[in-house]
Structure 1
């Protein structure tokens, strides 16, 4: 059960920077059929799994663009561990992710009889990004009823800022990126607070091309790399 909760947390915060959107933001393409594949590595660079994202539906209502993205996660042996559909919206010059939309029926099936409730504040990414710019914080809380007790996982994404511009080479190509630094402040039931720094490399018209997460001592824990894309 704890392993499943861990997978949920990973999916929540990987999705923050991987989602696609419409012309209201220049950093992510939004076209039905667009697909992206990412490889996840451990601290030693060993492949741990792959995640495939596909934009399956896009609709517009006034200034709001809504879309559905399908996610499939498989382990290093190619076994599918989780599949889900995510809903999100884009309005004006900012992408906003509704964390409530991440908890759909398909994902709930992964938890069988466990009741899970997700609340939080949206994470935002504006069009105009410049080095030194500070971005709004965000948070999410996962409460899981484990029969007689509730397990709470609270993660605050804080100290978000545009750190630098950098060129990145991946199996999918070379990209000019903006690097966003943030810290995930995590608190779980019966455990103290832990802060995990993270960096995300974003390319215009692509979205996330690379991500690195570190422990409290600054040592690399996990990394993610864009390996395939199709638009």
Structure 2
């Protein structure tokens, strides 16, 4: 269960949201009732679960927009893990409320766990261009389990860069995308790991595809947009 909580947190960092009339963000606009389904695949291309997103409670005031993102993760065995969190767009910057991830629903799935979360946001500007370097991001999670065991996890997203423009086809359609390369550094207990990844972003849709690699550059898994409605 604790492993899936960390997966939910990482999934939240990609928070794909569909198109609205707001000019707040080109790639992360907000619209009430949008639904997106992503299918996870392992390194051999076999299905390894799904993540479903639904946008609710959208409120706007000028260029400022806020919403609740409902997220449901289903693993390959059919087990379901859910969470909802707050997301806001202020001007041309999208921000995730990390503390809202620790809601009552999530805590009830975790059992006897106390958590403290902090971090900086992943930013995606409206105007992307090939070769552009993007700001790093960081998330720190402190967990106290069973009143005795402490586990601290630090996740950094670094070396973010717009590599190229590319058209990509998924079961949800064909999309013109910018491809962003990044590296995720995870520090948990005594283990330190770095995972390169590439993410395909389309205007008005958000994330269309994501691939993760090992340190040798070999594919370890992917996530693809398989259904999309608004």
Residue 75 of structure 2 corresponds to which residue in structure 1? 75
CA distance in 2, matches of 1:149, 1:72: 27
Deviation at 1:108, TM superposition (A): 1.3
Per-residue CA distance 1:102-139 (angstroms, 9 max, x = gap): 22221111111111211111111110110111111111
Deviation at 1:62, TM superposition (A): 4.8
Deviation at 1:20, TM superposition (A): 2.3
Confirm or deny: 8 A CA contact 2:16 2:205 kept in the other structure.
no
Confirm or deny: 8 A CA contact 1:96 1:125 kept in the other structure.
no
Detail structure 1 runs of 4+ shifted over 4 Å in the superposition.
Answer: none
Confirm or deny: 8 A CA contact 1:163 1:179 kept in the other structure.
yes
| TM-score (normalizing by structure 2) | 0.93
Confirm or deny: 8 A CA contact 1:214 1:220 kept in the other structure.
yes
Residue 179 of structure 1 corresponds to which residue in structure 2? 179
Q: Secondary structure at the match of 2:124?
A: strand
1:34 aligns with 2:31: no
Deviation at 1:19, TM superposition (A): 3.3
Residue 119 of structure 1 corresponds to which residue in structure 2? 118
Q: Of 7, 11, 15, which aligns to 2:12?
A: 15
| Structure 2: runs of 5+ lacking an equivalent | none
CA distance in 2, matches of 1:29, 1:126: 12
1:141 aligns with 2:140: yes
Per-residue CA distance 1:35-80 (angstroms, 9 max, x = gap): 0000001111111101111112101245421101111111235x24
Q: How many residues align?
A: 226
Q: Secondary structure at the match of 1:13?
A: helix
